[in-house]
Structure 1
Amino acid sequence: MSTFLLLSASMGDGHDTVAAALAERLRADGHQAVRADVLELLPGRLLGAGLRGSYQTCMRYAPWVYGGVHAAFLRPSRGPGSAPMAAAAGPGLLALVEQASCDAVVSVFHLAAQTAGRLRSSGRLRVPSAVVVTDFALHQQWLHPGNDLHLCLTPQIADEVAAATGRPAVATGAILGTRVLAARKAPQQAGSAAQAGVPVERPRVLVSAGAWGVGSRFADTARALTAAGFAPAVLCGRNERLRRRLSLLPGVEALGWQEDLPAVLASSSALVDNAAGQTALEALALGLPVVGFRPIPGHGRQGVLAMAELGLTRVAATPHELVRELADLIHGPARPVDPALFDGDPAAELARLVGAPGRGA
């Protein structure tokens, strides 16, 4: 049995969701998993909270500013990055590794990857360091040659990482939680009702705004879907102001934070996505077609385009295109996603990294 320190960041909910799902996988294989937030390792604690708060405010009210920051510091690149704050989080990470007596550090956020990579390359971090790359559009802050292993969503991303760092990278696919995996094993409950042969007068289409309820022109999108004969349901996350505003629109279902998102997905016919994050992956795992529309700037836009290029989703540039794509996907033949995207075993790869037996060993 090995102990893994999973280092995530509460920037939205996607990274924490992946870390929680990975912890479930590791524990099921008999290992211990300790979760921590890299923002809490920054000195003074207020620095991490300030970063989180400023990022949330920026994404809600001035997303174009984040787009500029992404272009300047998080741009796609084939070379390793350098995060100045990684040095500041280093002492906290070393203290946590010693306290937890862990056998490996697993970064599920790019600042964590930079922090662990710096410490590993300098010899101060004496246990292996792995990185779970959660983005479809790779950027340089995920890359540090000090890390021992990268776990990636697809073989294409793994090849990019290996070429950029000179270090091992493998494709383990999406890391899904137990609720999604359970729903995935019940195909009669998942996917498009229309594709399953069930008549649907007004197919329910989810519109995702992420955990923080960020994005643009949700009311316009909902109106366009309603006018086209769909029943839009907007996932507003924890943005209560957005939920209240959208709840006033006729024919629109405005949803707050969902504790059981797989159940909501399973009762819907399609997802309109703006971030290429965990919600889109869970939708695909449950058989829902996904259309990218009005993506958030930076990693959202890059990821939406990357998913479409891989043939996993489609992209619409206008409300007319969105309606057309949804009609084709919902009422047309099902287009299954390669099961390799969901059937990988990241826990086994991590066990191999530390020389521990995995499932079935």
Structure 2
Amino acid sequence: MTVEGRAVVISARIGAGHDGAAGELTRRLSGLGFAVDRFDYLDLLPGRWGQRLCDAYHRELEIAPASWDWLLAAMGHAPLAGLARAVSALALPNLRKVLAPAPRLVVSTYPLASQALGALRRKGELDAPVAVYLTDPSVHRLVVSQHADLHIAPNDHAAAAVRRFGAPATEVARPVVAPEFRPALPGERDRARRRFGLATGERLALVVSGSWGVGEVEEITADVTATGVAHPAVVCGRNEALRERLTRAGVPRVFGWVRDMPALLRACDVVVQNAGGLSTLEALATGVPVITYRCLPGHGRANARVLDEIGLVPSVTGVAGLAQALSTARPSGLPAGADPAGLLARLAGMRIPEVPAA
């Protein structure tokens, strides 16, 4: 395969959504012939600033999750957004280093990285086209860089919001999900259930809460059980303390970090989620219906509103509403749209054929 040039993809290990999108974009761009270098924005910050930022975000979600409602609202105002842009500039010295030699394309999946790249474009220090890939269905001011050449949005609602914040060019694309996340083949669901020790005759609701296992997971689990409609199977991600608490409480189907999430999703009948992030997209791609319940404050609630508004994932409240949703949930699949890798390749000047929207 002819090498089409160097592409740089920058994400961040805050949750799994930014990295998940970056990983799949890297795979697709590599398939188009790019030599892709991928970096974590947090590692580009000086000293231990990156890890401290990640830890602070994680602790805030655990200890004071309600503060994220305030923070998201504040992001809509110029002073705090300006402060965030100033903080993003701390990565510029190391960012300049990883962008040498000059790439043909730069892609960001993380807001602070997008702001830092925008600063380089504004200063005339970066000639390569810059694209921002939006990982969430909702949009706040900080995800938009007015100096990026292209913003790729997962739905029309997000695209409209990006334009209101002054993005020069926006395209709607089908969300990127790894190809392993696909609907079950005949007999595959029962094989997956036996593999994970799940009963084949039960209606199972998979409770997910991101890679960190944050939010009202224990309450969600209890409410699913109280409905009598489905039995909960809970994924705790890297939150071992949560896993231990649920196990001690007698919840029979509790998982930690799951390496084969596609198979576990295919084993279940419905997903109950609280953030509207990567797990939601993976479930939709797998053909499993998704419900939002007891969502996280801040971006979790913003995502839930958008997903409900566009008819992709219903957001419900109360045990009665949960019971109704668990009974009637139907798969919707991922929304249609162009392949984002194709949009990126064309931004970099590659001539590739138009692929019909899926």
Aligned to 1:300: 300
Structure 2 equivalent of residue 142 of structure 1: 143
CA distance in 1: counterparts of 2:167 and 2:25, whole angstroms:
25
2:175, 2:335 within 8 Å by CA — same for their partners in 1?
A: no
Matched, 1:155 2:151: no
**Structure 2 segments unaligned to the other structure (5+ residues):** 193-198
Q: Is the 8 A contact 1:106 1:130 kept in 2?
A: yes
**2:243 counterpart of 1:247:** no
Structure 1 residues 129 and 204, CA, compared in 2 at 3 Å: closer, same or farther? same
Structure 1 partner of 2:203: 203
Q: 1:64 aligns with which of 54, 63, 66?
A: 66
Aligned counterparts of 1:76 and 1:296: Cα–Cα separation in 2: 22
* Contact kept? 1:187, 1:286, Cα under 8 Å: no
Amino acid at match of 1:33: V
**How far apart in 2 are the matches of 1:187 and 1:301?**
36
Question: CA–CA distance in 2 between the matches of 1:202 and 1:102?
Answer: 52
Q: What is the TM-score of this pair, normalised by structure 2? A: 0.88
Which of 9, 14, 19 is 2:17 aligned to? Answer: 14
1:184 CA drift (Å) = 4.1
SS at match of 2:174: coil
Instruction: Name the CA distance, whole Å, in 2 between partners of 1:187 and 1:26.
Output: 32
Report the Cα offset of residue 103 of structure 1. 1.3
SS in 2 for 1:336: coil
Query: Match for 1:12: what amino acid?
Result: G
Name the structure 2 match of 1:173: 174
Output aligned runs, 1:93-112, within 5 Å: 93-99=95-101, 101-112=102-113
Single out whichever of 121-130 and 249-258 deviates more from structure 2.
Answer: 249-258
Check conservation: 1:273, 1:291, Cα contact below 8 A: yes
The amino acid of 2:32's aligned partner reads D
**What is the CA deviation profile of residues 63-117 of structure 1, one whole-angstrom value per residue up to 9, with x for unaligned ones?**
12333322222x499xx86622122112221111015x42121000111111111
Equivalents in 1 of 2:332, 2:221: separation in Å? 27
Are the counterparts in 2 of residues 271 and 290 from structure 1 also a CA contact under 8 Å?
A: yes
Conservation of the 8 A alpha-carbon contact between 2:293 and 2:317: yes
CA-to-aligned-CA distance 1:123-161 (integer Å, 9 cap, x gap): 111211100011111100011210000111013322332
- Determine if the alignment matches structure 1 residue 319 to structure 2 residue 313: no
State the TM-score, normalizing by the size of structure 1.
0.88
Q: Is the 8 A contact 1:190 1:286 kept in 2?
A: no
Correspondence 1:219 to 2:218: yes
Matched, 1:274 2:274: yes
Specify the alignment match of 2:336 in structure 1. Answer: 340
Describe the SS at the equivalent of 1:247: helix
CA distance in 1, matches of 2:15, 2:353: 31
> In structure 2, what is the equivalent of residue 34 of structure 1?
37
Alpha-carbon offset, residue 320 of structure 1: 2.0
Letter matched to residue 350 of structure 1:
L
Determine the C-alpha separation between the residues in 2 that align with 1:184 and 1:352. Answer: 30
SS of aligned partner of 1:34 = strand
Deviation >3 Å, runs of 4+? 184-191, 249-252, 334-339, 357-361
C-alpha displacement at 1:187, in angstroms? 7.5
CA distance, structure 2, for counterparts of residue 13 and residue 173 of structure 1: 18
What displacement does 1:283 show? 0.7
String of CA shifts for 1:191-220, please: whole Å, max 9, x gaps. Answer: 9x9xxxxx975311011121111001x223
SS at 2:42 equivalent:
helix
Would you say 1:128 and 2:129 are equivalent positions?
A: yes
Is structure 2 residue 85 aligned with structure 1 residue 83? yes
Moved more, 153-162 or 265-274: 153-162
Q: Secondary structure at the match of 2:280?
A: helix
What is the SS of the residue equivalent to 1:210?
Answer: coil
Can you give the 5+ residue segments of structure 1 that lack an aligned partner in the other structure? 194-198
Report SS of the residue matched to 1:27: helix
Partner in structure 1 of residue 195 of structure 2? none
User: Structure 2 vs 1, CA of residues 187 and 346 (structure 1 numbering), >3 Å: closer, same or farther?
Assistant: farther
2:272 aligned counterpart, secondary structure? strand
Percent identity of the aligned residues? 33
Out of 27-36 and 127-136, give the one that drifted further: 27-36
- 1:259 matched to which residue of 2? 259
Deviation of residue 271 (structure 1)? 0.6
Per-residue CA deviations over 1:152-178 (Å, capped at 9, x if unaligned) read 101332233234325111011210113
Letter in 2 for 1:108: T
SS at match of 2:27: helix
Q: Per-residue deviation at 1:276?
A: 0.5
**In structure 2, distance between residues paired with 1:220 and 1:295:** 11
Partners of 1:127 and 1:215 in 2: how far apart? Answer: 40
Q: Deviations over 1:257-306 (max 9, x none)?
A: 11111111111001111000010011111111111111111111100111
- Quick one: which amino acid aligns to residue 27 of structure 1? S
Any idea what the Cα deviations from partners look like across 1:313-353, whole Å, max 9, x if unmatched?
11111122111111111xxxx45346515xx3111111111
Distance 1:145 1:353 in 2: 16
Question: How many residues of Structure 1 are paired with residues of Structure 2 in the alignment?
Answer: 341
| 8 A Cα contact 1:105 1:130, kept in partner | yes
